[in-house]
Structure 1
Amino acid sequence: MAALPLPDSIKKQASSLKTVESFPVRRFFERFGEPLELELVAGEMGLQNRKIREKSINRPALALTGYYDYFAHKRLQLFGAGEMGYLRSLVRERQQKVLKEIVDHNIPCMVVSRGLRPTATMLDIAKEAKVPLFRTRMKSKDFSAEATILLEQELAPQTSLHGTLMDIKGVGTLLRGKSGVGKSECALALVERGHSLVADDFVSIRLVGDRELVGTGTELSRGYMECRGIGIINIGELFGVRSVRLEKRIDLVITFIDWHPGMHEERTGLERHYFEILDHKVSHVEIPVRPGRDMARLVEVAALVHALKRMGHDSAHAFNERLIAYMQEHSK
């Protein structure tokens, strides 16, 4: 006797996708200039208008030789020791021609690594074309790795959802439901039990690395929660700094729904349900709300069950297999 196949059910988020298509060079410099050790040496006039349109970093070695097929002009252009050595080997007229061809492709900016000094021609071209030229003391490999991570975060697809995001023993749990259903009250009870609040009421979500969804709150409301009947409360001040997290990967979505007689309720846990955010499926559980139910305890258990499933322990499947084995044995 075989178990029935497990159907997948998927619910999609109602919020619209926001794709960040570009990142102004000025904002890049202001936000990441210090961690990337950037120093602006020329082309300040182009800071506002130039935009980075891809998250990867480009090394323009082939472009310096005049080969522009597949030239990634939308990316930040990084000049390392090899590129700078080649430039210095050229006469001034050749340097001008090569660099002008590169900036004419509407590149966002140029960065010289290892603390190397840009050539005089490079400074003149950057100033004339209004292309920001930076210098960093970081090695090319380290700069590429750090800058790619930072740009990936900024250029990641984004959306927002109404809900409350919690960190429950390492499981990022997004609580959803209509206004007034009890999401914040449940989150408050979870915080009292030692779990952490990430965002209340409004959750900003971005897709990082095309593989995981990361949720966070706004800077204005971070650490605050609206509790009906009491008002706005500061979670960090009431329960300590460990009760608040800046961001968390979203592993599980739990939707609170109003209970009514005769409604379908999950009884076995054999069916897999998903909630789709930014075209990525996240495990989804619906919990009916009715008087007397300890919603915080149910949410906590749902998060722990999800954690066990990720480690390969599925109680529902294990019991189903035991039941089938029992039925097979006693049918003989």
Structure 2
Amino acid sequence: MNLKVKELWEEAREPFSLELEAGGEGFDNEILERAINRPGLALTGFFQYFAFRRLQVFGLAEFTYMKSLGGPERNRRLRQFCQRRVPAIVLARNRHAPDELRALADEFRIPVMRTPMITSLFINECTVLIEDLTAPRRRVQGTMLDMMGIGVMIRGAAGIGKSETALTLIERGYSLVSDDVTELRRLASGRLVGSASELTRYHMEIRGLGIIHVPSLYGVSSIRGECPLDLVIDLVKPGSEKAGRGEENGPDEIELLEARVPRVELPVMPGRDMANIVEATALNQKLKFMGHDAAKELDEKLVTALQRRSVR
């Protein structure tokens, strides 16, 4: 994990209505752990298990405790706290930093920010934001679609028909996530989420036609900002090295960002409606997620039929 306070400030400033109170020279400090800490025990002087690598949040309890201390004692406790070199402090409920904290924040270069949000809500939403900012990312070649809740990435060599297949599926009511290049990130749960880059979002390139803006042609329902990745479909030429290991033998898997995703290879041949086959493959994968596996069902029927014949 490598997240600077400046990066968090830039992403959280507007949605969380953050304002800088002090310590503006410490924006290069690094937040080394994803979780957020409320330093109640640390303010009492107990530092044995102090999570100093995390973003620190002062809520009503911390403010009430500091207010109960006399000026010299409050300054001593806050100095002990700041000497641990915490990355940054956020004050919830729009509370202003005490004068002692402002001075210490400037001295130790610790950014102090305030938000009007209540403490628990800020912690929940900021934790999600930090998870997103620190999630492992990778850019891969492939066109991604949301097909009835199934995130499908279509890959293949240049000119094999990825975008054309995706365009046909969009005409049938499915949604485009990205064309040709997909940005993947891995969530804390281990699931992959795909999206388009900012520059190419909502656009597609069709050979012979050029660049098209998908929502202008097919409406806003034809696009989606991001989608979990559930299936990778590789379009391959007949007789190629990979061809022949398709759905008839069951899908294999591919590893992306240390997560495994089901993968199916579909040979592309003249006259073959690839959009239909991709659609059937995606819907078949959805059935598997629901516990219905057609191949296993057929195997069980065949085994049962053979057993009956052997008994006779």
Bin for the TM-score computed over the shorter chain:
over 0.9
CA deviation digits over 1:154-177, x for unaligned, max 9?
111111111111111110001111
Larger proportion of helix: 2
The amino acid across from 1:46 in the alignment is: G
The answer to whether the Cα contact below 8 Å between 2:236 and 2:242 also exists between their aligned partners in 1 is no
TM-score, with structure 2 as normaliser: 0.94
CA distance in 2, matches of 1:92, 1:267: 73
Deviation at 1:67, TM superposition (A): 2.4
Query: Could you tell me which residue of structure 1 aligns to residue 250 of structure 2?
Result: 271
User: What whole-Å deviation, never above 9, does each CA across 1:40-83 have from its counterpart, x for those lacking one?
Assistant: 22122223x22323221111122212222332222110011111
Is the counterpart of residue 239 in structure 1 residue 194 in structure 2? no
Aligned residue in 2 for 1:34: 14
Change (3 A) 1:262 1:42: closer
Q: Quick check: 1:146 aligned with 2:125? A: yes
For 1:120 and 1:263, the matched residues in 2 are separated by 68
1:44 to 21, 24, 27: 24
Unpaired runs of at least 5, structure 1: 1-20
1:162 to 119, 128, 141: 141
Q: Percent identity?
A: 40
| Match of residue 58 from structure 2 | 79
Secondary structure of the equivalent of 1:225?
strand
CA offset digits 1:102-141 (Å, max 9, x no partner)? 2232222101112233222112211222211111221111
CA distance in 2, matches of 1:266, 1:274: 11
What one-letter code is carried by the residue in structure 1 that aligns with 2:2?
A: S
253-262 vs 226-235, greater mean Cα deviation: 253-262
Structure 1 letter corresponding to 2:135:
A
**Structure 2 equivalent of residue 185 of structure 1:** 164
| Structure 2 contact 3–30 (Cα < 8 Å) conserved | yes
1:331 is paired with a residue whose SS is helix
Residues 264/257 of structure 1: CA separation in 2 closer, same or farther (3 Å cut): closer
In the other structure, the counterpart of 1:15 is none
Distance in 2, matches of 1:35 and 1:264, equals: 48
Give the aligned partner of residue 4 of structure 1: none
Q: How does 1:51-66 map to 2 (within 5 A)?
A: 51-66=30-45
Corresponding residue number in structure 1 for 2:115:
136
- Give the aligned length: 311
- In the alignment, is residue 126 of structure 1 matched against residue 121 of structure 2? no
Q: For residue 184 of structure 2, what is the aligned residue in structure 1?
A: 205
Query: Who is 1:105 aligned against?
Result: 84
Say whether the 8 Å CA contact 2:204–2:211 is kept in structure 1: yes
SS at match of 2:80: helix
Q: Distance in 2 between matches of 1:236 and 1:94?
A: 62
Stretches of structure 2 that go unaligned for 5 or more consecutive residues are none
